Amino acid sequence: MLKKKIMLVAGTRPEVIKLAPVCFALRESATLEPMLLSSGQHRQMLDQAFAVFGLKPDLDLNLMQPGQTLPDLTARVITHVGAALREIKPAAILAQGDTTTVLGAALTAFYERVPFGHVEAGLRTYNFDAPWPEEMNRRLADPIAQWCFAPTEWSAGNLRAERIPAKRIHVTGNTVVDALLWVREKLGRAPRPPAEITARCGIPEDFARRYLAGAGARFVLITGHRRESFGKGFEDICQSIADLARKYPDLGLLYPVHLNPNVQEPVRRLLGNNPRVALIPPVDYEDFIWLMDRCHFVLSDSGGVQEEAPSLGKPVLVMRETTERPEGVEAGTCRLVGTNPARILAEAAVLLENPSEYAQRARLQNPYGDGTASRRIREILEQSLA
Ligand code: UD1
Ligand code: UDP
């Protein structure tokens, strides 16, 4: 029997991480088969993510341009995904999350009348300015979706409140948990010497020796890339990191810096000469989870990191005022701290100086799923497309 093609579109690092398990699940279907389309919204960070999972896109639109603007990128995604849909004629197209690739794919699917499935549907802040432009991307993609794969009951409730028909809403868990378990299993199966991993990440040897090895060594893992923080927000974030380095001489600050030039410029300018802060290139998913497992806590504005942290038992200070992922905050793992240096320093002090509060917030929990989200997505598609 000829299998029906399910096109999976990914454009950025988190989309690959969260669609890889869906791709693996679809490969096991008797009736469906995955076809991987890369928009290439990211380049190096996308290739890095594909490589960890041993995946290679069937078609790569290679759309990234240095310093790309949102309107230009959106237009290119629509034009090129449209051409791919007309040529390949899949039975359905799936996209994950809230990026320009997702919005472009959803709109194109609507125009080409190809059924669209949204993985990680229903996340909301109900504030179009934060996350910007992602909140709008999700709000526009969900009504187009024939299948809204909501990670939690809360996100499903948001969709119902927006009058998305109930039969389109499926609570599956978040596929990020599937990815995390997959990567941890890989790490466990073939453990590598720590020195090899830290060297591969570009962590200076003396920093690794001092803050990643030995009894009592502590480091904070940092990521940041939100557009609404560009400018003053990033200056404040860098100030907080410098303040933390000054106040805690025994604490390492490890920052894999996102490749967006609006991030690179302030971070390199304000922290580049700080001997206490290690600025390294983005690391691959496997290494990032290895680092997350070993850090004391995470300072981040990332969506995916907020979801991974409860399953790893790592507190996160979320450098945002609002989140579309309240489950991690309710679990106590994540705390919204904004970008104000005084507030970040005060919240970091709690995690560094109060062991009982730390233990409370470092409890293992899984509000985002049990590792079966991708299999559920496959089963729903199989039934629906039979
Ligand atoms: C994008 C998504 C954001 C997501 C993030 C994940 C949008 C609007 N933004 O933000 O939702 O959380 O990815 O990381 O969809 N660049 C490189 N190499 C890379 C990646 C980026 O050089 O591998 C540089 C390029 O100059 C590029 C710029 O970063 O033009 C911005 O990339 P873009 O995908 O537009 O935005 P991100 O900030 O990465
Ligand atoms: N991540 C990674 N390498 C890094 C930083 C993050 O692999 O150097 C992973 C992280 O574990 C998470 C995902 O990338 O799964 C988050 O991506 P990002 O913060 O870029 O996007 P967001 O989740 O905010 O959309």
The per-residue pLDDT for 309 is 96
Domains present along the chain, CATH in parentheses: 4-173+371-384 (3.40.50.2000), 194-362 (3.40.50.2000)
CA of 230 to the centre of ligand 1 (A): 13
CA of 360 to the centre of ligand 2 (A): 25
The per-residue pLDDT for 131 is 98
- Contact call for residues 311 and 364 (beta carbons, < 8 A): yes
Positive or negative: CA dihedral 87, 93, 95, 100: positive
Q: Which atom of ligand 1 is nearest to the CA of 68?
A: 30
CA of 249 to the centre of ligand 1 (A): 33
Q: Per the residue annotation, which of 15, 80, 118, 120 is the catalytic one?
A: 120
Look at residues 337, 92, 130, 370 and name the one whose alpha carbon lies nearest to residue 236: 337
| Spatial separation of the C-alpha atoms in residues 319 and 341, rounded to whole Å | 10
pLDDT in tens, 12-63: 999 999 999 999 999 999 999 999 999 999 999 999 999 999 999 999 999 9
Q: 307 in ligand 2 pocket by Cβ < 6 Å?
A: no
Q: Per the residue annotation, which of 138, 170, 225, 375 is the catalytic one?
A: 225
SS3 of residue 75 by DSSP = helix
- Contact call for residues 349 and 341 (beta carbons, < 8 A): no
The per-residue pLDDT for 206 is 94
Query: Ligand 1: which residue has its CA nearest to atom 3?
Result: 99
Q: What share of the chain is helix, strand, coil (3-state, %, to 5)?
A: 50, 15, 35
CA of 363 to the centre of ligand 1 (A): 32
| Spatial separation of the C-alpha atoms in residues 49 and 41, rounded to whole Å | 13
Dmax (CA) of the chain? 65
| Spatial separation of the C-alpha atoms in residues 135 and 18, rounded to whole Å | 18
> Is-catalytic flag, 258?
yes
The per-residue pLDDT for 382 is 98
Look at residues 126, 328, 289 and name the one whose alpha carbon lies nearest to residue 192: 289
- 261 CB burial (10 A radius; 0-12, 13-18, 19+): exposed
Structure tokens at 23: 């791709």
Residue count (the chain): 386
Q: 262 in ligand 1 pocket by Cβ < 6 Å?
A: no
Testing ligand 1's pocket by substitution, the residue of 260, 265, 302, 318 carrying the most ligand atoms inside 8 A of its CB is 260
Q: 361 in ligand 1 pocket by Cβ < 6 Å?
A: no
| DSSP code of residue 180 | H
Q: 290 in ligand 2 pocket by Cβ < 6 Å?
A: no
Distance of CA 253 to the CA centre of its chain: 21
| Spatial separation of the C-alpha atoms in residues 222 and 340, rounded to whole Å | 15
Q: From the CA of 120, which ligand is nearest?
A: 2
The per-residue pLDDT for 215 is 80
The per-residue pLDDT for 216 is 84
The per-residue pLDDT for 81 is 98
Angle in degrees, CA 292, 374, 225, rounded to 5: 40
Structure tokens at 99: 């990026």
Amino acid occupying residue 218: R
Q: Per the residue annotation, which of 134, 135, 286, 287 is the catalytic one?
A: 134
CA of 111 to the centre of ligand 2 (A): 31
Q: What is the reported pTM? A: 0.98
Per-residue pLDDT of the chain (386 residues; tens, 9 = 90+): 899 999 999 999 999 999 999 999 999 999 999 999 999 999 999 999 999 999 999 999 999 999 999 999 999 999 999 999 999 999 999 999 999 999 999 999 999 999 999 999 999 999 999 999 999 999 999 999 999 999 999 999 999 999 999 999 999 999 999 999 999 999 999 899 999 999 999 999 999 999 998 788 999 999 999 999 999 999 999 999 999 999 999 999 999 999 999 999 999 999 999 999 999 999 999 999 999 999 999 999 999 999 999 999 999 999 999 999 999 999 999 999 999 999 999 999 999 999 999 999 999 999 999 999 999 999 999 999 99
Look at residues 20, 36, 12, 159 and name the one whose alpha carbon lies nearest to residue 99: 12
| Spatial separation of the C-alpha atoms in residues 350 and 346, rounded to whole Å | 7
Testing ligand 2's pocket by substitution, the residue of 305, 307, 314 carrying the most ligand atoms inside 8 A of its CB is 305
Testing ligand 2's pocket by substitution, the residue of 291, 302, 306 carrying the most ligand atoms inside 8 A of its CB is 302
